[in-house]
Amino acid sequence: MISYGRRRTSGLRREEVAQLAHIGTSWYTSLEQGRSVNPSEDVLNNIAKALRLTEDERRHLHLLARSDQQEPEEEDRDIAIGLKRMIQAMDPHPAFVLGRCWDLLLWNRAAELVFHVPSFSEDTMPSFNWMRHLLTSDKLGPDVMDGASRERVLIAQFRADYARFPNDARFKALIEEFMEISPLFRELWPMHDVETATDHRKQKYDPRIGEMAFEHLTLQPPTHPDLKVILFTASADTAARLQSLLNATTR
């Protein structure tokens, strides 16, 4: 690589990234500044390689490069009757469905108990947002996912989803709201971290039944790309205690 002299900060200069990606410096600068240069898939992959991006970050780069070409379509909130039945049948395992902007569209009673969300009703759906709940609820308690805080991971996932719909008015309004109401969101959002949802083990504590253990899984219905199905499969012991709590709890 050509030497560009002594550097004041760590990391690659624009000239070095451009050289590694086999493109011109001025062209890379235009791309970095958001100008319309229409990079090819190969160029974006070369830039991702030069910057040593993770796979999640590489996908995010491709979405950002195409963001000016994406017109937001009306959100699909229709939930098939079979999916509705499945979510309800998952009790005592918490399960819910998120919309494009992480609005809760459907959830079961186990999710109400474990995550302290209101009882499901059609009137609750339009206003109850999962990210807002995570940022503002004082009932959820601390949580760790694979050594990282729940909030850091989920904000990175929220940004990855936002990149799919960068011109969505509701997404933008929610981001502005979260920047105002949450110091943690204000701190983490400008870092531009991105992650996609991954399967993982999750532990929570509830004073009513003690420690709980779950396997977390995120699914996306192929015919409804705006929706995400979130499942928390409880361990046998946790499921038994949750079932007892469900039996003892009336709406």
Residue-wise pLDDT tens for the chain (251 aa)? 444 444 444 467 778 777 777 777 776 776 666 666 677 777 777 777 777 777 767 666 666 666 555 555 677 777 889 999 999 999 999 999 999 999 999 999 999 999 999 888 766 556 799 999 999 988 776 664 544 577 888 999 999 999 888 889 999 999 999 999 999 999 999 998 888 777 778 889 899 999 999 999 999 888 888 899 999 999 999 999 999 999 998 65
Are 110 and 227 in a shared domain? yes
In whole angstroms, give the CA distance from residue 145 to residue 194.
Answer: 15
Q: Which residues make Cβ contacts (< 8 Å) with residue 246, sequence separation at least 6?
A: 91, 92, 109, 110, 113
Does residue 76 form part of some domain? no
Q: Which domain holds residue 46?
A: 14-69
Are 164 and 65 in a shared domain? no
Are 63 and 86 in a shared domain? no
Are 65 and 85 in a shared domain? no
Does residue 22 form part of some domain? yes
Q: Mark out the alpha helices in the chain (DSSP H runs).
A: 14-21, 25-32, 41-50, 55-65, 81-89, 109-115, 130-136, 150-164, 169-181, 183-188, 236-248
Does residue 3 form part of some domain? no
Does residue 1 form part of some domain? no
Are 21 and 141 in a shared domain? no
Are 142 and 98 in a shared domain? yes
In whole angstroms, give the CA distance from residue 7 to residue 11.
Answer: 9
Q: Which residues make Cβ contacts (< 8 Å) with residue 72, sequence separation at least 6?
A: 165, 167, 168, 169
Q: Which residues make Cβ contacts (< 8 Å) with residue 102, sequence separation at least 6?
A: 129, 130, 131, 158, 161, 174
Are 92 and 55 in a shared domain? no
Q: What is the DSSP letter of 23?
A: S
Does residue 7 form part of some domain? no
Q: Contact at 8 Å (CB) between 27 and 18?
A: yes
pTM: 0.73
Q: What is the DSSP letter of 99?
A: -
Does residue 75 form part of some domain? no
Q: How many domains does the chain have?
A: 2
User: What pLDDT digit, counting tens, does each position of 38-90 carry?
Assistant: 777 777 777 777 777 777 676 666 666 665 555 556 777 778 899 999 999 99
In angstroms, what CA-CA distances link 4 with 1, 11, 21, 36, 132? 9, 13, 16, 27, 46
Are 107 and 137 in a shared domain? yes
Backbone angles phi, psi at 143, to 5 degrees: -150, 140
Pick from 43, 69, 95: which residue ends a domain? Answer: 69
